[in-house]
Structure 1
Amino acid sequence: MNILLIGSGGREHALAWKISASPLCDTLFTAPGNPGTAQCGENVALDTTDHAAVIAFCRDHAIDLVVVGPEAPLVAGLVDDLTAAGIKAFGPTKAAAQLEGSKAFTKELCVEAGIPTAAFARFTDEAAARAYVAVRGAPIVIKADGLAAGKGVVVAMSLAEANEALAMMFAGGLGEAGAEVVIEECLVGEEASFFALSDGTHVVALASAQDHKRAFDGDEGPNTGGMGAYSPAPVLTPALEAAVMERIIRPTVAAMKARGTPYKGVLYAGLMLTADGPKLIEYNARFGDPECQVLMPRMKTDLVAALLATVDEELGSFDVRWWDDAALTVVMATKGYPGAYARGSEIGGIEAADAIENVIVFHAGTRQDGPRYLANGGRVLNVTGLGPSIADARRRAYEAVAAIDWPEGFCRGDIGWRAVGLEKK
């Protein structure tokens, strides 16, 4: 098969790494890709926002399957246009991708389908939103309705902080994403992520993970796109996973089908494990980043076969298997991230780190200048370790981090602390 992968981040390098290992994959193109995906296939300079250009490329190169990595092309309807052109594509339609593209859409679906989630209200008027916050009090969660690249959620610990977030969003600080806001009760518990494949009717459970959103050790500092992750998440026991499937995932898929907008793709459920059981925080319509970087090394099943079974609506007779080993990834970011940062600093030691046994270094925001690797983004490298326990995977990952010479970069030193603590009990 000739396969086209859409995207350029660490998630896409992890997907490219797994796709290129499939016996079903003859040729892999990634658009636009990065130096990591270039090691797995051929990068192509393709404007993925130009759907006609993507379709033309697929026809010119006899593409059998398109895999859409990021959320923006999904919400923009790339899968719809590819399907209409007779090109097989993995990912939800524009209508189904509203599960990620609109927080309000998902909350209303939860009410309709009886899916446990936080109490909420939605607003397009700042004064009304402020009045609601004044009544509800803090802590409280303020969310931009639309896509905001991981920056659209504020957990406000005070009324002042909540009102500041509302002012920022309604003033256009997040563009169109903040034209409507969703205000939620602040759930108490431990966060975890759970992934499943849906072909519109059937659902197959994948695996659990936990990530670290705050920039600095001890869960301090601003929220980011994710500073590290590990899988499996010990806090998500088999019993809890079964509850998530039955109370959250399956009702969502059934409700989407009943609406006439069946969900086909990967469902990433962000969960809060409360005293009353798991509750849905939000959905993502794609593999997470950096969660994908710990899922792909653990997947024993051929990823391409799983993607095809999803697209072809054959998950009813499909099973996904996993290696017993745990995986942990440490995100190395440019100093200043998630605020302002400089591009172009040189990174040494990537090959040495990648050569360590049971380590994979996924590229997220790099570019090549001859033999040199340069930082070209905020989150730049995803250093992933594997081992029989999360503690072992963690040791591998940080051994590899130590081999990387990048004075202008930083990372958290405590990725996996919750899981390692659980394993010690």
Structure 2
Amino acid sequence: MRILGIGECNDLAAMHHGFARRGHAVRVFVEDPACRDVHAGLLDFTDDWERELGWVREAGEDGLVVFESAVKGELQDRLRHEGFQVIGGSALGDRLEADRDFGQQVLREAGLKTAASHRFTDYAAAAQWVRGHRGRYVLKFNGADSPRTRNYVGQMDDGFDLLALLGLYAARQQPGEAVDFVLMDHLEGVEVGVGGYFDGCRFLQPACIDFEHKHFFPGELGELTGEMGTIVSYRGSRRLFDAVLAPVAPLLRESGYVGYINVNLIANEDGLWPLEFTSRFGYPGYAICEALHEEPWEAIFRRMLRRDGDAIATRGGFACGVVLTVPPFPYRQGYEELGKGAPVCVRDDLPAADRAQLSFAEVALVQDRLVTSGVTGYVGVATGVAATVAQANAQALRIARGVAVPNLRYRRDIGERVAGGDLARLQRLGWYDRPAPLPMHHPPALA
């Protein structure tokens, strides 16, 4: 195949590298100049994606354009209209993720309950509202490319901590700087996501179920990073899929959406409460999902584009992904001094099968040596697969220990709250069908 990757930060670098290793011709366009060293020496790059469209078109059905983000949906729609095969999303998908009010409206119309949410474009107005409506709220900025570290989950029932943060943001706001955010009622329950691959007409089965761990430190402390690790399974998701994703299929079909889409939720005794859409591949979600695939991405993408099947081949059990970082992640400030250019070494005794479960992100090959690159210190993700969440975590940590980078950091508790009660509670609430145990493989009997 001929594959053109288009993105802002080369977040799909590991996917593109996999395409290239399997013999496909890959060219990647990275919009942000600061990210153009991500996978340098490992991928072929272009400085003009439009110039490559003829190269893609010449390949006919073997030509593919892959988008990494949810900010270029209109361009994706236009390229599809011009006859190109595109995996990514659509203009509707961009709006579902970026405009939280709209996403909540769509989910309400699909029959789901939504938490009260209030939109603001002024910090002072938001603070005044909180003073009159004391409570615990979650602050989330609109925009698919908004920094996740600025979001905040309120901790105090009277909203005092949120008021203090709004005051800080107001004091630091630059002249002319526009802000757009929501305050959503805080919800208690199991945080869970359900995601699937939409081929422009229908969802391929099975959908996946995921449990993200967004805070930087164990025990859900520290910054909201986007994701420090995730538990994923392709089993037991049917009830969530039927309630959440299946109802939005007609809207996705009408918009021409082709790609992965996910809805994050809170499940509790009062039902399902959707929080937000992710109208793109998740990071590191796509790499963790890949560990459970029995076929490569290009086979899945061909099926989605040709609509010649309604299923993907997946493994049972759970995948645990552990994100590997160096300072100053999750921030950009100080990376040149603190973490960039550090050697990334993989132990010689790490088996080849384990090495295949390492998906590197912000790295580059310089003089035959792998080093950290990019803008934040997001080194990659180590993924383990096993029959249980705890076993998958142990596998992922064993693989992570096979990587040596100065000042490497990662969470060791990915999946503990899932195995320690969230999965059982989700089952009691009726939203998880626990699959049958995986078959045990016994050694042959001695003669």
Aligned position for 1:226: 227
**Secondary structure, counterpart of 1:213 in structure 2:** strand
User: 1:5-404 to 2 correspondence within 5 Å?
Assistant: 5-7=5-7, 12-16=12-16, 19=19, 26-32=24-30, 42-46=43-47, 52-53=50-51, 55=53, 58-59=56-57, 64-72=63-71, 74-75=72-73, 77-147=74-144, 148-158=146-156, 159-167=159-167, 179-204=179-204, 205-232=206-233, 238=236, 241-256=237-252, 260-312=254-306, 314=307, 317-339=309-331, 340=333, 341=335, 342-350=338-346, 352=348, 355=351, 357-359=353-355, 360-376=357-373, 377-404=376-403
Amino acid at match of 2:275: I
Calculate percent identity across the aligned residue pairs.
21
CA contact (8 A) 2:198 2:257 kept: yes
Amino acid at match of 2:417: R
Q: Which whole-Å CA distance do the structure 2 matches of 1:223 and 1:413 have between them?
A: 17
Number of residues paired by the alignment?
407
CA contact (8 A) 1:36 1:362 kept: no
**Secondary structure, counterpart of 1:272 in structure 2:** strand
Q: 1:52-106 deviations in whole A, cap 9, x for unaligned?
A: 345356357777111112333x35x331232243221112222332111221221
Q: Which whole-Å CA distance do the structure 2 matches of 1:327 and 1:283 have between them?
A: 22
User: TM-score scaled by structure 2?
Assistant: 0.79
Amino acid at match of 1:347: P
Amino acid at match of 1:128: A
CA contact (8 A) 2:95 2:103 kept: yes
1:243/1:386 CA distance change after superposition, 3 Å = closer
CA contact (8 A) 2:347 2:404 kept: no
**Secondary structure, counterpart of 1:212 in structure 2:** strand
1:67/1:171 CA distance change after superposition, 3 Å = farther
CA contact (8 A) 1:8 1:34 kept: no
CA contact (8 A) 1:138 1:157 kept: no
- State the 1:419 CA deviation: 3.4
- State the 1:370 CA deviation: 0.8
Larger Rg: 2
Q: Which whole-Å CA distance do the structure 1 matches of 2:2 and 2:185 have between them?
A: 47
- State the 1:408 CA deviation: 2.4
**Secondary structure, counterpart of 2:83 in structure 1:** coil
User: TM-score scaled by structure 1?
Assistant: 0.83
CA contact (8 A) 1:113 1:255 kept: no
1:221/1:110 CA distance change after superposition, 3 Å = same
Q: Which whole-Å CA distance do the structure 1 matches of 2:57 and 2:230 have between them?
A: 37
CA contact (8 A) 1:100 1:283 kept: yes
Q: 1:6-38 deviations in whole A, cap 9, x for unaligned?
A: 34878524433664587xx74233334877696
CA contact (8 A) 1:29 1:44 kept: yes
Q: Which whole-Å CA distance do the structure 2 matches of 1:12 and 1:263 have between them?
A: 19
